[in-house]
Structure 1
Amino acid sequence: MSRTDGVLVFIHGWPDTERLWDAQVEAFEGRYRCIRFTLPGFEQGSRRAYSFDEVIGHIHQVIDSACRGEQVTLVLHDWGCVFGYAFAARYPERVARIVAADIGDAGSRRHLRELGIPAKLMTAAYQLYLATAWRIGGRIGDVMSRIFARLMGAPAAAQDIHAGMAYPYAVMWFGVRGGRPKGRLRPPDVPMLFVYGERKPFMFHSRAWARDLAVKPGCRVVSLPAGHWMMVTCAEAFNSAVLEWLEEAC
């Protein structure tokens, strides 16, 4: 039986679906109740863009219908971190703790100070490229998305990747669906395990933020010899780090 006090809610990012978490659900479901879903707009055939508020509302609906008022642990990656942090800020009573993969205080003043000009240009370039792929759509947009996903080493199957998945970038850069909410990305002040891959051209967190987080009670920072999708390429190490932290937190 799953533990009644251990509900894990998995939220993926680009260009993935709920299948990103296959290895984690297999490893955790004997001890915890696992809930995962595909973000709206990421399913096959979708061309609709969703506002940040709509995505946060969808997450709330999923958690509310599945957990009936229980607090949950969010397990987040990529855009899942962005949406998950926003959900935790809006509904703090629903979130007991967070496992965040690879996205920390991205875009904060400390993070931007640490990024060099080449990294800033690379960030803007890939995000605008994906936003443009969403705007173009159709077969061309799909091919653009698949090419970039392959270059980045994304584990998702090429046939499952489509331009519609890139709408968060269009929201952020083109102001689609009202644009990104005002204010910078702020990971919430809850117990957090932050796991990041060391093998990337640049990081999505500042060293200062990671140092501060590591000394907070109930928090931990773990680096893995991996890229952005460490829950796939280093699944065993990732799962061990998460399970160890969860057991200590309970």
Structure 2
Amino acid sequence: MSGTVTWEFSIQGKPNGRTLLFIHGWPDDPSLWDSQVAALAPDFRCVSVTLPNFGPTAVKPGGFDFPELVEQLANTIARASPDGPVGLVTHDWGAYIGYMLEKERPDLVDRMASLDIGGHLKPEGLKSSMMIMGYQWALIGGWLVGGILPPLGNLMSRGVGKVVRVPSRQRGNILSRYSYPYFYLWRNMLLPWRKSKLLGRYTPRCPILYLWGNRKPLMFHSDRWLKIVEDSGGKAIGIDGAGHWLMETHAPEVTKHISDWFGGEAD
């Protein structure tokens, strides 16, 4: 059990403003959201969290499975926003964990903006499936090697980062220990008795703004997900010319969508 374990977090912005909680994914850290936090801080209370093992030191060498991460995130929200639910702003693994939180603890989330990872994924054909398996299993390999030989594991992980076009500002900082979510994802998928630890069938109970980059070799959502978003009372918007890290390459456009969604006035 995780007990009352919480994630590292920082708070910026309007003290009495609506709380937005930002969750990054692989292989990032809270600086991913710097442009959004700077623009939204005049109107919102912005809480930026660090996923376990993605900070300067490892919290637990083997990382955490998803139920533990969800429990820790719930503890973090209770500490960072004791007066009520938050709006989630998420990306990559942050989006996946955010969906799991909203499924398990809908009382903690009243609205969500998720970027580039949907709550339902159906690869388009064998090529897409093999591409997803290829980079994810390579990261798992780097994670396993890194448990014994960290420098080699880090080198392997950075090689994958180059292939999948991780932004240069982060590529040289990738550590193999960041990749534990991929290990738990595949272990839980391949072992039938562990599938309850995954998101599974998901129908959000709060409205979702889903933003994705439409200039990528792979899409991390299905047409079904876009319909689910619409049925939630939300919006699904593709950002022209954007890739996976759209909050950086298309910061003004993404920030405007997020601000409008949560009722702010950011430029």
When the two structures are superposed, what TM-score results if normalisation uses the length of structure 1?
0.88
Match in the other structure for 1:29: 41
* CA displacement at 1:124 relative to structure 2: 1.0
Match in the other structure for 1:63: 77
Match in the other structure for 2:109: 95
**1:125-144 paired onto structure 2 within 5 Å:** 125-137=134-146, 138-144=150-156
* CA displacement at 1:187 relative to structure 2: 5.3
**C-alpha deviations, 1:208-248, integer Å up to 9, x for none?**
3314523x363111111210010011111100111122228
From 233, 238, 254, the counterpart of 1:223: 238
Match in the other structure for 1:194: 210
CA distance in 2, matches of 1:217, 1:148: 35
Match in the other structure for 1:81: 95
What is the Cα-based RMSD across aligned positions, in Å?
2.2
For residues 95 and 238 of structure 1, do their structure 2 counterparts lie closer, same or farther at Cα, with a shift above 3 Å needed?
same
* CA displacement at 1:95 relative to structure 2: 0.5
* CA displacement at 1:5 relative to structure 2: 5.4
When the two structures are superposed, what TM-score results if normalisation uses the length of structure 2?
0.83
**C-alpha deviations, 1:64-96, integer Å up to 9, x for none?**
111114111000100001111111111111100
* CA displacement at 1:3 relative to structure 2: 6.8
Q: Does the Cα contact within 8 Å between 1:41 and 1:50 map onto a contact in 2? A: no
Match in the other structure for 1:165: 178
For residues 182 and 217 of structure 1, do their structure 2 counterparts lie closer, same or farther at Cα, with a shift above 3 Å needed?
closer
Match in the other structure for 2:10: none
For residues 15 and 182 of structure 1, do their structure 2 counterparts lie closer, same or farther at Cα, with a shift above 3 Å needed?
closer
Q: Does the Cα contact within 8 Å between 2:100 and 2:199 map onto a contact in 1? A: no
Count of residue correspondences: 241
CA distance in 1, matches of 2:127, 2:72: 36
For residues 165 and 192 of structure 1, do their structure 2 counterparts lie closer, same or farther at Cα, with a shift above 3 Å needed?
same
Q: Identify the range of structure 1 (149-158 vs 46-55) with the bigger mean alpha-carbon deviation.
A: 149-158
Which letter does structure 2 place at the counterpart of 1:72? V
Which ranges in structure 1 are unaligned for 5 or more consecutive residues?
A: none
Identity %: 32
Give secondary structure in 2 for the equivalent of 1:27: helix
CA distance in 2, matches of 1:132, 1:52: 19
Give secondary structure in 2 for the equivalent of 1:68: coil
**1:45-64 paired onto structure 2 within 5 Å:** 45-46=57-58, 47-64=61-78
* CA displacement at 1:2 relative to structure 2: 2.0
Runs of 4 or more consecutive aligned structure 1 residues displaced over 4 Å after TM superposition: none
For residues 5 and 30 of structure 1, do their structure 2 counterparts lie closer, same or farther at Cα, with a shift above 3 Å needed?
closer
Give secondary structure in 1 for the equivalent of 2:89: strand
CA distance in 2, matches of 1:102, 1:25: 19
Give secondary structure in 2 for the equivalent of 1:164: helix
**C-alpha deviations, 1:10-58, integer Å up to 9, x for none?**
0111001111111111011110000011100112342331121221122
For residues 53 and 208 of structure 1, do their structure 2 counterparts lie closer, same or farther at Cα, with a shift above 3 Å needed?
closer
Q: Does the Cα contact within 8 Å between 2:120 and 2:225 map onto a contact in 1? A: no
Q: Does the Cα contact within 8 Å between 1:172 and 1:179 map onto a contact in 2? A: no
Match in the other structure for 1:151: 163
